[in-house]
Structure 1
């Protein structure tokens, strides 16, 4: 994949890593680890951006980015989705532990604020709100009936909010969350959001987990105030699934097949011309053809409603497992 692809925005650190030649391990300030859960059909990639130089190279803030990819997430298979939930729960627990946020033991049980980002009236953007609706909140149970509820265990106090989008509230998400955090004083924020990808093959079958926070709307060019430890005052663990990809990026991914078809059909001259254009020129040509006709369109799978619904259960179950040991 050519370096020019960095000009196509993606929320996924793994796609930024793929825009570099080689296996990505040679990127200054960035470390890479990949492994398989073969029995579960899950591929995991961990990208750690360690330095400001690495952040500049990747176009992402410093932090840990774990990407879980599983093609079977596109299917309605409850057993498989539970395996994904278990793996995702382990990664959530790992990032919380990395920031010294425990889930029990001898000390005080942590307080976690879950945030469902997005517009629940727009299906590709409804993942966050749907996840929040499936979560079992417990912060209000830490009073009179708390001991009976917890059974002597130090369960986290889980609270949640669906802040909506600016067109609905007239407020930035960061403004809303700063007020909530000031009043409820959580130890960490778990933010769930829909993302944008470069590759259509990752839509609905990829989950990214990061401790670098989140930038609402940035994947489709709608830059809003960031939700990070620096802006909110507490660690922000972001969980996201790509649900849209730019139309021009989709078309570019088919250029190779188009060139081959033109050659086979006797249009070798035109096929050679397109083939020998560099990647940036190919992509620019596609944008010049498409955008005057359709605008900067973003595309989502035809069954996105089913995929988002299934993934909302998968992610909410993972959060329950990570915080309550599977008893959520």
Structure 2
């Protein structure tokens, strides 16, 4: 039974559980730190050997734990936005500081898949303002945001739409926001992963589409993802493994095509999408405060 996860830190843990020590993996490094009161796990995969062992492309994967936000600690929202914006800024190309395109992947009509479109609602689009009112916005970075929907809604591959937009605005970087699949229930809507390897929409639920990465689009692609579901087969595998390998009818049922999410998915998706949108604004416009973003979005 395959263990399905989009989180690099879970994939690395699975590799270690399989008997492969991190010290024995060439080109794989992990570092755990703290920023703004949130735990940060950074994983760098710099060799093809490491990429094959972990099952992830070479690149940088940074995971922000949202424990303080979930616990509703004091000032948790602005601290989460600041922490995520800092992680995102480190992965964005430092030069040239040209236009940026934010793409909200997913289906707005399906709550666990709505993270991307909802995050775009909190992104300040400035490309038209910079062009039309340079006397006021010349110091702002041109930013465009779009939520292209999914193939079943539009008849178009997301990658085809994004490529068409790229040909028009020629951004220096693309930020793609999407829902992910985790291997553990404890990570659902409790973590945000930022990676400079791009993303394959739908891969977490076995419906992989056109890859959005530097190779396919010709510009750096930074992926921001939030795990909103766990694959039923993966969950059954984990429960069975932790229970000593036992098998029962209930676990066998989970092996059928099914995904599991949280009971508060509506609220949690709205909350985490707002964090992502605000963090993107702060990363692309460092001069903005949370209060400024509130003002521009109101």
Fold shared per TM-score above 0.5: yes
CA distance in 2, matches of 1:188, 1:237: 8
CA distance in 2, matches of 1:23, 1:87: 30
C-alpha contact 2:100 2:172 (8 A) present in aligned 1 = yes
CA distance in 2, matches of 1:214, 1:131: 16
Matched, 1:195 2:180: yes
What count of residue pairs does the alignment treat as equivalent?
286
What's the counterpart of residue 223 of structure 2? 238
Structure 1 residues 111 and 24 mapped into 2: Cα distance closer, same or farther (>3 Å)? same
Following superposition, the deviation at residue 255 of structure 1 comes to: 4.1
Which whole-Å deviations, capped at 9, do the CAs of 1:128-186 have from their partners, x for residues lacking one? Answer: 00010111100001223122134xx2x21000111100100111111111111011100
C-alpha contact 1:74 1:204 (8 A) present in aligned 2 = no
Following superposition, the deviation at residue 80 of structure 1 comes to: 0.4
Q: Which runs of 5+ in 2 are unaligned?
A: 294-298
Matched, 1:227 2:212: yes
Following superposition, the deviation at residue 252 of structure 1 comes to: 4.1
C-alpha contact 2:232 2:260 (8 A) present in aligned 1 = yes
Query: Greater Rg, structure 1 or structure 2?
Result: 1
Which residue, 163, 170, 173 being the options, matches 2:148? Answer: 163
Cα RMSD over matched residues? 2.3
What's the counterpart of residue 48 of structure 1? 44
CA distance in 2, matches of 1:313, 1:228: 24
Following superposition, the deviation at residue 113 of structure 1 comes to: 0.2
Following superposition, the deviation at residue 26 of structure 1 comes to: 3.0
What's the counterpart of residue 68 of structure 1? 64
What's the counterpart of residue 36 of structure 1? 34
CA distance in 2, matches of 1:290, 1:32: 36
What's the counterpart of residue 270 of structure 2? 309
Following superposition, the deviation at residue 60 of structure 1 comes to: 1.1
C-alpha contact 1:18 1:24 (8 A) present in aligned 2 = no
Matched, 1:128 2:116: yes
C-alpha contact 1:74 1:307 (8 A) present in aligned 2 = no
Q: Look up the SS of the partner of 1:317 in the other structure.
A: helix
C-alpha contact 2:100 2:142 (8 A) present in aligned 1 = yes
CA distance in 1, matches of 2:287, 2:108: 27
What's the counterpart of residue 16 of structure 1? 11
What's the counterpart of residue 289 of structure 1? 252
C-alpha contact 1:248 1:287 (8 A) present in aligned 2 = no
C-alpha contact 2:25 2:49 (8 A) present in aligned 1 = no
Q: When the two structures are superposed, what TM-score results if normalisation uses the length of structure 2?
A: 0.89
Q: Look up the SS of the partner of 2:132 in the other structure.
A: coil
Following superposition, the deviation at residue 248 of structure 1 comes to: 3.3
Following superposition, the deviation at residue 25 of structure 1 comes to: 4.0
CA distance in 1, matches of 2:218, 2:249: 43
Q: When the two structures are superposed, what TM-score results if normalisation uses the length of structure 1?
A: 0.81
C-alpha contact 1:63 1:211 (8 A) present in aligned 2 = yes
C-alpha contact 2:240 2:251 (8 A) present in aligned 1 = no
